[in-house]
Chains A and B, each alone.
Chain A
Amino acid sequence: MPRSPAPRATTTKPSGPPIGLIGAVVAFVVAVIAVLVYLAVRGDGLEATGSADTLPSGGGLVVNPDAPDDAVQVHVYEDFQCPFCGLLERSAGEGLFAAADTGDIELTYTFMSFLDPVSDDQSSSRAANAALCANDAGVFADWHAAAFAAQPEEGIGYPDAALTGFAEQAGLAGEELDAFTTCVSEQTYAAYVTDMQEAANQAGVSGTPTVEINGERLDNDELTRLQADPSSLTEIVEANQ
């Protein structure tokens, strides 16, 4: 319905809304969207529950929670899709888990997922979730070793079948394997995986691999040595404890 004609006397006024009003509306809409995005990213804090041996508040998975109190604290931050994490694990992984077994160190892993976008299927998050499923099944160490031994080139990702295959390699079968497969396909620990990423960022970790020994971060040279020479582990742990 056309409106009744406006009085002629207003012809000197511009037609349409004033430019200032348009500008204010644009600025308001942008501000509202920014606030919404911020609130979505901020989420609901670090409240999610992880698998059997995870620390609260996205603090990561403890490989050997029964370690003695005086064990050296070793905290590894990695993303299952990060090539240098693969180098590190294939070099120093065995030594780390052996030292955890003897109780020389208490080994903690935080699985980050910032490399999700390099694959089509959020492989970093899905592999991190599967690692926690493996913890519940009691085969984390073997699952983790199998995953990094077969790490695909960056961007190819881990299909669910591969994540389940590592569990079979780790010795799961029957009902245990079924439970693991369900945990993987339902992404049971997705919220905790998000919390691990956020907790790592809060701790200032913005790249992987990052290794902390008693809270001190290894420098680039030490990481490079660990990635190239498995025997450097003992010396580096001693030097930093």
Chain B
Amino acid sequence: MRPRLLDLVGLLARLLLGGVLLVAGWLKITDLTGSVQSVVAYDLFPYAVSQLIGSTLPVLELALGLLLALGLFTRVSAALGAGLMLVFVAGIASAWARGRSIDCGCFGTGGFVQPDQTAYLPEILRDLGLAAAGGWLAARPHTLASLDSLLRRGRAP
């Protein structure tokens, strides 16, 4: 493929991963009680740790989402975003393996759902797809319409 087309693919990957992170972070930070409770529902950490994760994760998601949307520090943000998605996959898989009936809480309040209403596989596939978008950008961070290119252009030589 021509470089310009690859840059366009990169832009789409940026907007996809960045957009999802922005939405997910926003829904959580406007409902921090729900965000903490969603982490509690995984039953993986002591309460103090769940509280720390539930309150700081939305900030991290918003920050990475904003950086990706702007195309600033694309390689690092995308690598962190992809890493985050893989952590989510591990968490969801662990809930699934332990037979817990929860919603992943990816977009705000999770917690218990009826056993026949879990959606672990679609949730995992979605996060793997987003991780792939992040992986692409980490490998090839040059994209269309990014602050990274502007910053580079503003510099000599």
Contacts and interface: CB of A to CB of B under 8 A. Distances in A.
Contacts of A40: 32, 55
Nearest to B113: A207
Interface SS of A by simple majority: helix
A19 interface: yes
B36 A37 contact: no
Contacts of B37: 114, 197, 201, 206
Interface in A205-237: 206-207, 220
B157 A37 contact: no
A151 B60 CA distance: 38
Q: Which 5 pairs from chain A and chain B are nearest by CB?
A: A207-B112, A14-B155, A206-B41, A41-B55, A34-B56
B144 interface: no
A38 B154 contact: no
A206 B112 contact: yes
B111 interface: yes
B67 A15 contact: no
Given A14-B155, A16-B155, A117 B34 contact: yes
Nearest to B56: A34
A37 B109 contact: no
A33 B154 CA distance: 29
Contacts of A30: 59-60, 63
Contacts of A117: 30-31, 34, 108-109
Nearest to B103: A207
A26 B60 CA distance: 12
B51 A42 contact: yes
